[in-house]
Structure 1
Amino acid sequence: MSRVPETVAAIGIPLVWGNSVLPGLGLGVRGRTAANAAFATAYALAFHGVPNWRSAKGFWYGAVSASLVAAGYGVALAIPSVRKRLREFDDRGPGVSTAEWIAVHIPIGTVYSEEMIFRATLDPLLDNKFGSRVGSVCGVLTFGLWHIHPARAAGDSVPVAIAATAAGGVALGWLRRRTGSVTAPALLHSAINVGGALAPRLARLIGAARI
């Protein structure tokens, strides 16, 4: 496969999968998790992804990053006005328990899948093709566009979702480049998503306990 078609395919295939093929399959949450993980694994194999999961540096950077995120959620829950706003957020794990959502679907269906596609595979490919500066921009834009269908399905603003996830992709990509491993961005990604799932529930529990 020549370099230009390979690059176009590496960018385009995840976008078609995430925004068209996967939604079109009509799977439930468990089926989507399994399908997404299988696609991510096949994609990384096809485009020679290098996750380097067993990285001590990656684990250290990821643990520190995840701890900062957890602390941020703790501060948010401690502020009454912010906690009140958190109570208004809808749950994003319909059809499954909270425990299953945070123990299975976030780490496998979201974190593993997206880190294998973007940080383990696409980002290094784009860096090699364009250099780290341009490669980073292309990678984070693709990561943002990957979230078009999820934003529509959730009733969120698509431009806001693209911008927010692209901004998150900057931090995740920086961690991968800094450590040479997807372990660091995977731990940060997990902390953000698990915290986002738990914070509204905890806010409602705190509110109920104080009534």
Structure 2
Amino acid sequence: MSARHFGRFDALSLAAALIGWSFVSPRLPALWRTMLQAGVGGVLVRVTRTPLGLGPPRLRAGLRLGSLAALHVAGTVAATTILATVRRSMADRRPPAAAPEWLLLRIPVGTVWSEEAAFRGALMTAGSAAFGARGGRLLQACTFGLSHIADARATGEPVAATVLVTGIAGWLFGWLADRSGSLAAPMLAHLAVNEAGAIAVLAVRSSDRGILRR
């Protein structure tokens, strides 16, 4: 089925399903959750026949734009670690898994690939077919924000702020995908956000433990 066959009901149903899944998946064992989310993303891409732009010439544009965004994100995250409030928040955050599993499996596979495939890939494709390009980008951004409600509740983060921030991030990721014509651009930016944040958390916690041992 091609994207042009998606109507508004189809696009909204997919959005609702993704939000519903965000409340179900945290109840699954961590490894199962990672693999299932990655698989769901792949299935949705195939069903919607989403053009990923992971081959030339679009891949080159995606890598170029995504790398620029990733460098900016990584620099911003690194700069914020000097703020006392940010360091305290990072020090209080408990990593969800051992560092290698978190950095090499859960983030790139269970989060970045699965979310980019599902939101900037499948949902934006279906939404654009139903509501136009800007409408599709807005639909996936709003859905992306709402899909983080369960995570915010689990970590004790403010729900409204989390939805707003992740919704804005979703809009920007969608812009990167539209601008480059490749899913590589938002994937690199998304990877930079999560990896830089995770590495900063690990570094701050390690530094604080070192100070306490002295």
Same fold (TM over 0.5): yes
* Shift of residue 45, structure 1, vs aligned partner: 1.5
Quick one: percent identity of the two aligned structures?
29
**What amino acid is aligned across from residue 81 of structure 1 in structure 2?**
A
**What amino acid is aligned across from residue 6 of structure 1 in structure 2?**
D
Counterpart residue number, 1:152: 153
Note the residue ranges of structure 1 that are not aligned, 5 or more in a row: none
**What amino acid is aligned across from residue 52 of structure 2 in structure 1?**
P
* Shift of residue 123, structure 1, vs aligned partner: 1.2
Aligned equivalents of 1:123, 1:75: Cα separation in 2 = 32
Counterpart residue number, 1:6: 10
Aligned equivalents of 2:49, 2:153: Cα separation in 1 = 31
Alignment of structure 1 residues 19-168 onto 2, 5 Å: 19-20=23-24, 22-23=25-26, 26-54=27-55, 55-77=59-81, 79=82, 81=84, 84-93=87-96, 96-168=97-169
1:92–1:50 distance in 2 versus 1, CA, 3 Å: farther
Give a deviation string over 1:123-142, Cα, whole Å, max 9, x none: 12212322222222222111
Equivalent pairs, count = 205
1:124–1:209 distance in 2 versus 1, CA, 3 Å: same
1:208–1:134 distance in 2 versus 1, CA, 3 Å: same
1:176–1:89 distance in 2 versus 1, CA, 3 Å: farther
* Shift of residue 83, structure 1, vs aligned partner: 5.8
- Does the Cα contact within 8 Å between 2:48 and 2:125 map onto a contact in 1? no
- Does the Cα contact within 8 Å between 1:91 and 1:197 map onto a contact in 2? no
The DSSP-based 3-state class of the residue aligned with 1:49 is: coil
Note the residue ranges of structure 2 that are not aligned, 5 or more in a row: none
Alignment of structure 1 residues 152-191 onto 2, 5 Å: 152-191=153-192
Give a deviation string over 1:19-46, Cα, whole Å, max 9, x none: 23x24xx422111101111111112212
- Does the Cα contact within 8 Å between 1:76 and 1:82 map onto a contact in 2? no
* Further displaced range: 109-118 or 197-206: 197-206
